[in-house]
Each structure stands twice: as structure tokens, then as C-alpha cells.
Chain A
Amino acid sequence: MIMKKKNNSQFFAFVRKEFYHIFRDVRTMLVIIGIPVIQILLIGFAISTEVKNVEVAVYDPSNDEVTNRIINQMDASEYFNVTRRLKSANEADEVFKKGQTGLVVVFCEGFGERLYHTGDAAIQLLIDASDPNHGTTVSSYAGSVIAGYQQELLQETNVPVRINPEIRMLYNPEMRSAYNFVPGLMGMIFMLVCAMMTSVAIVREKESGTMEVLLVSPVKPIYVVISKLVPYFIISWVIFIIILLLSVFVLGVPISGSLVWLNIFALIFIIVALSLGLLISTVVKTQVAAILASGMGLIMPVMILSGYVFPIESMPPILQWISGIIPARWFVSGAKKLIIEGVPVRFVLKEMLILLGMAILIITVSLRNIKTRLE
């Protein structure tokens, strides 16, 4: 009993020591807090995939009332700014090469004439399709501006067979990109703090030989290891709360699911990330190796294969399969459901079980590694 108490106080002494280490390096601490905050701000307010202010060049040989009205309506829409008049249709490629123009509108000759008499008035929309998604969107917006004008023309004469679509954006009616990124951001930060920092911290003690000192102390080796993990566990959870608060109050992401389950889910993932850090620290010998292993082996995959920025379903099957062994993929998909879609917890049961399984597996392997190293 007394021994146990002593063990406990030593354990907390170790935890305290670890906290000192972390907080002494002010710059690293600032970066760890800074990354999520700045990312949230940039994602929330700076970057978006919405198409806006596309620069438009126009070739208008007929220059009549109709073409001028179409050009004016385009310029008036929030999507387009008409910035340039071309002297010939051949100039289009030259203009594109300069890089600013996203759309060239080419009217046929005698546009107004043809519209009312021969019925073959045509507008050619030349799109810079080097970014295919942006190009497609530009094309469909330009099409809808022209369709709007067409509707005006036809006000009196009703076109038969009209289907009026009502379009509804589920879960994200304002089409905010930020919604998409929050779960991935959490996943990446956890990997950074739990996996990378923990592995580097443990390996540094191995490199400098202080690990030996700790291990010869009367505390059980496993407590020494756990005491190194506890601070990162707490820091990660604090960061999780910070990201949640920022998302709700700064980005206005409504947390539609159960907060309790969201926390439980996040804690499971934090445990997975910590055990990955532990695993790396049992395998590598130097800090550089720990940094490279966690950077290339954990953080890079999280950024590109977890569904953080790039949707998994548009990847080829082999990459989808690889992404299945990345824990962050399951976290991102579960967190998206809980935070954004707000579905009941039974819908994330699969993700939760997979993460739990991964945690158990990784912990078992790393504990076995530690044991063999000590013996």
C-alpha cells in the first residue's frame, strides 16, 4: 500500500517533469497552438473553392444591343468581371497565356440579327480548363447568366416543357469549405502532437542517455513510459477543445451531433495517435529518424490520404484500400458524421470499432517491443 502510494507520487513527478520540458520550449508550444488557430482562420476566411470575380475577355464583332446587354449582365454578376475586349477570336489563347483571364466569350457576327431572324445566334464560351473543376463551374455559371437573359427574352412567349429544379444543399447550405476541413485538421494536429512529439521526446531521452536514468529508478518501466504520454494526451485534448470552440464561435460550424460522443471518439483517436508515437519510439534510434518516420509515415498520409482535403471516393481503388489502414481516415470520416451531419452515434460504430482495434493492436506491438528491449 505504501509502496503503491510512493509509486504514484513518483509517477506524478515524472509527469510534471515532462510538462516542464514541453513548456520550456516556447517556440514549439507556439507553433503547436499556432498551427490549428491559423489554419482555422485561413480555412474559414481565406480559402474557398467558390467561383468569384473571374476575369472575362470578350470578342464581340456585332456590338449590338443584344450583345451589349449580355455583356453587361455578365459583368454585373458576382462571378464575372469583364476586363478585356479582344480584336479577334484568335487572341484568346494569348490572353489565356497571360494567366489572369478565366473565360473568353466569343459572339458570332451579326448576333442580334441572327437571333431574331435566322435563329442560329451562337455564343462560344472558351474556358481555361487547366483547372478542370474551376473551368467546369465557370462554364456552367456563364451558361446560367446567358440562360437568365434568354428567359427575359422569352417572357411573353412561354417555352413549353419546363422543369424547374429546386436545389437543396444538405448539411452545408451556405457551401462553406471550412466544414469540410475541421475534422481533418484535428486528425493532423493529433498526429503532430501525439505521434511526432511523443516519439521525438522519448527518442531524445534515449539519445541523451537520460532514459537509462529513469529506467533504473524504482518505478516500473511501464509507468515511466506512460508518464511521458500523459502530458501529450492532455495537450491534445486541450487543442481538440480549442479547435471545437474556434469552429463553433469563429467559423460558425454547428456541432449537430452529441458532444459527449464526439469527445469519446476523439479520445479514442488520441490514444491511437499516442500509441503510434510510442511504436515509432520503440523502433528508431535517433531524433532525425523519428522526425522523418512520423513526418513521412504519419503526417504526410494524413494530409493526402485521410480525406482531409482530398475526397477518398475519387481515389483509385488501391489508394482507397491503403487509406483504410490509416487511422486518421476513420477519424475524419467519423468526425465528419458526428460534427457536420449530426447523425446518431450508431452510424459511427464502425469507425469507432476500427480505431479501438487499431489502438489495441498498436499498443500490444509497442509494449512487446519495449519488453524485449528491456530484457
Chain B
Amino acid sequence: MLRYLIEKEFKQTFRNAFIPKMILAFPFMVLLVFPWATNQEIKNINVTVIDRDHSAWSKRLSEKIGASTYFNLAGYADSNDEGMITVEDGKADMLLDIPPDFEKNLVNRGETSIMISANAVNIMKGGLGSGYMNAIVQDFAGEIRAEIIPASGKTGLPLIQVIPQGRFNVFLDYKVFMIPALIVILMTLLCGFLPALNIVSEKEIGTIEQINVTPVRKFSFILGKLIPYWVIGLFVFTLTLGLSALIYGLVPQGNLLTIYLSVLVYITTVSGLGLLISNYSSTMQQAMFVIFFFLIIFILISGLFTPISSMPHWAQVFTYFNPLRYFIEIMRMTFLKGSGFMDIWRQLAALAACAFVLDGWALISYRKSH
């Protein structure tokens, strides 16, 4: 019985004018456009320098900033007001205000101050930008120090050397961080929401009534709806693996078997969610809005682009009920760090629990009669 239902679903899907194209186009779009668009890499920060000292050292500092990979020297200004205008115009993101007597004070008093102003509307840019700027300024101070007191390293001062080293994403490529998570979003849309819209459209057309009056078991009917999307989901996932290896050279570090197992558990989970929504919607418009509602909330608290550890405790509690959170964690861990089954089993178990609840609820709430 199940065979006939699956057969029907495949025929309908591939006969549709739009859906097969979408299934193919989607992975390409997600992998070709999204990683670039969601790139939060902070580079090319434009800086206006307000140089009130016009000394050799102040020039050297400005040039050092312009030469770094993070900053572009947007220009010079003579006053704070003039500098602020460049920020308001969007020509500059940061101001570096070098006071008069900058060089003189450094030589005579051994210390001076400067002011760094960052446009913090984009807090990522403001925060990281001012951090980078400070690092360059301190580096500059070190250079000067080495020049005027050549032996500063061996003066007997207790200095600590700090050696930072990034692991797993050594080139600090933000795209590499986003790709595994974007694949999660793709799988969610494909395996969760397409089947939901499919079922609701059968409701609207009325064909579901013809099915309900047959002795088909609801379990078979639902499986008949979901299995094709699972197959499509696994196909698309494999496609994205290939694409990400080909385009970005990003190959999963972890065990492929573990990854595919997690994918299977996840698509069971989201298709349960989709079913649930379709059970409670009678029109496509309703289903669409409800889907949208959940999708937005789930994405916002999934850790997709803001770390979960930065959330307040109550919000972190909410994320325990968010299947996206677990799958994004699993994907990032297995893709980037090569975490194995023993590292991710907690997340996987949580996902399986979500699947159990959602699918069970969907099965119970699906009614052949009213």
C-alpha cells in the first residue's frame, strides 16, 4: 500500500513545473549566495584620522593603520565635527583622534592618550573595530619603545608573552563557519515545510477527502508523504556536501556516517513539525504564516549568528526546545572540529527526543474523520 502512495508522491513532485527546479536551485543559491551575504567578517573598516599633532609619529601611526588588513584610511579631518560628518555620511566607520603634542608627551612624559570613536550601530563592527585599532596602537607603542630603549626586552621587567592561536578555522573565514548552519536552514525548508504545504494543498483541493474515505492507515499515508522528502533531503544534502567541497574546499572533518545519521534524525524531526502545522491549518496562507512565525523564532534563538552562550539564562532554556539549535551545533562540530559520535551524542539524543514528541503529536493529531 505504502509503495503506491510513495510512487504517487514522486510522480506529482517531478511533474510539478516549479518544485523540481526549486529543489535543485535551492542548494546552489544557499551555497553560492548565502555564505557571502551572511559573511560577518569585519574587514575594510574605513577610518578618518583627526591628526592635531602633524608630527612624524602621528603620521607613522596613521600609515600603520592604513596598512593593516582591517582598515582603510578614508581621509584626514581637522576637527572632531569635520570627522563626525564623514561618519554621518557613511564615508567612515571610525575616527582616530590624535591630540596635539602627541609626540612631545610620549617623549617627555612617557605617556599620552588618544581617542578612538567607532560607529557602534553595527556592534560587531564597532566592537571588533575598536579592538583591532587598540591592538595596532599598542603595537605601535611597542615599536617606539623598542626604538628608544633598545634593550627593553631584557631590562628585567616581568613581561608576559601572549601567543594567541586559533583552532579549526585558522584563516578566520566566516563563510566556513556559516556553511554548515546554512545547510541546516536548507534542510529545514526542504524537509519540514515543503511537505506541510503539500498536505495543506491536498486539503484545499479536496483530494485528501478521497484518501480519507479509503481504508488507508494514517501511518502509511503520513509515511507516504514524508519518505519522498527524506529521499530528496538526503539527495540535496549530498549535493551540498559536494558543492561545499568543490567551491570552498570545505570537507567535513568528522565521520560521514555520524553526519548522515544526524541528518536522518533531523529530517524526521522537522518533517514532524511540518506535519503538525499542516494538521492545524486549513489554508496554505495560514500554514505559510505559521511556518514563517516558527521559522523566525527558531532561527533567532538557534545560535545561527549569535552565540547561545551570550544569551541570558531564560533564553537559553528556550533553546533546549529548538531542534535547529541542536542540528546547527552538530553540523558545526562535525564539519569544522571533526567531533565524533561520542562528542555529539547529547545533541543527537535531544534531537531524537524532539523527533519523538513532534512525530508522535503529529500522528495523534492527524484525523481521518471529524
Contact = CB atoms under 8 A, between A and B. Distances in A.
Answer yes or no: do A and B interact: yes
Interface of A: 25, 27-28, 31-32, 34-35, 38-39, 42-43, 45-55, 92-93, 96-99, 102, 115-116, 119-137, 139-140, 142-143, 146, 149-150, 153-154, 157-173, 175-177, 179-180, 192, 200, 204, 287-289, 291-292, 295, 304-305, 309-311, 313-316, 319, 336-337, 340-341, 343, 347
B311 A46 contact: yes
Contacts of A53: 309-310
Contacts of A159: 145, 157
B278 to A, nearest CB: 14
A172 B123 contact: yes
Given A122-B160, A314-B41, 4 more contacts: A27-B286, A47-B311, A125-B164, A161-B110
9 contacts: A39-B296, A42-B300, A46-B301, A46-B312, A133-B42, A133-B128, A133-B174, A166-B113, A173-B120
A96 B285 contact: no
Contacts of A119: 153-154, 156-159
B113 A164 contact: yes
Nearest to B105: A163
Nearest to B165: A126
B300 A46 contact: yes
B292 A192 contact: yes
Contacts of A54: 309
Contacts of A27: 286, 289-290
A166 B116 contact: yes
Nearest to A204: B285
Interface string B117-129: 1111111111110
B160 A49 contact: no
Categorize the interface residue count of chain B.
Answer: 35 or more
B340 interface: yes
A67 to B, nearest CB: 11
B167 A120 contact: no
B161 interface: yes
A243 to B, nearest CB: 14
B39 A314 contact: yes
Nearest to A157: B157
Interface string B2-30: 00000000000000001000100000000
Contacts, number: 314
B239 interface: no
A205 to B, nearest CB: 13
Contacts of A127: 164-167
Interface string B251-277: 000000000000000000000000000
Contact of B111 (A92, A149, A163): A163
B310 A131 contact: no
Contact of A133 (B121, B124, B284, B289): B124
B305 interface: yes
B161 A122 contact: yes
B126 A163 contact: no
Interface stretch (B136-144, B209-217, B224-232, B357-365): B136-144
Contact of A28 (B40, B165, B289, B301): B289
B36 A161 contact: no
Contacts of A32: 289
Contacts of B197: 288
Interface string B334-348: 001111100110010
A171 B161 contact: no
A31 B36 contact: no
Contacts of A179: 121, 123
A288 B201 contact: yes
B150 to A, nearest CB: 12
Interface hub of B89, B112, B162 (most chain A Cβ within 10 A): B162
Contacts of B340: 97
Which 4 interchain pairs have the tightest Cβ spacing? A129-B166, A46-B315, A132-B172, A169-B120
Given A27-B286, A50-B310, A133-B128, A163 B114 contact: yes
Contacts of A340: 121
A336 B125 CA distance: 15
Contact of B141 (A130, A163, A176): A163
B130 interface: yes
B149 to A, nearest CB: 6
Contact of A115 (B125, B140, B158, B311): B158
Contacts of B56: none
B115 interface: yes
Nearest to B17: A289
B296 A35 contact: yes
B120 A98 contact: no
B88 interface: yes
A49 B37 contact: no
Interface string B155-181: 011111111111111101110110000
B100 interface: no
A340 B290 CA distance: 31
A49 B307 contact: yes
A217 B164 CA distance: 75
Interface string B58-93: 000000000000000000000000000001110000
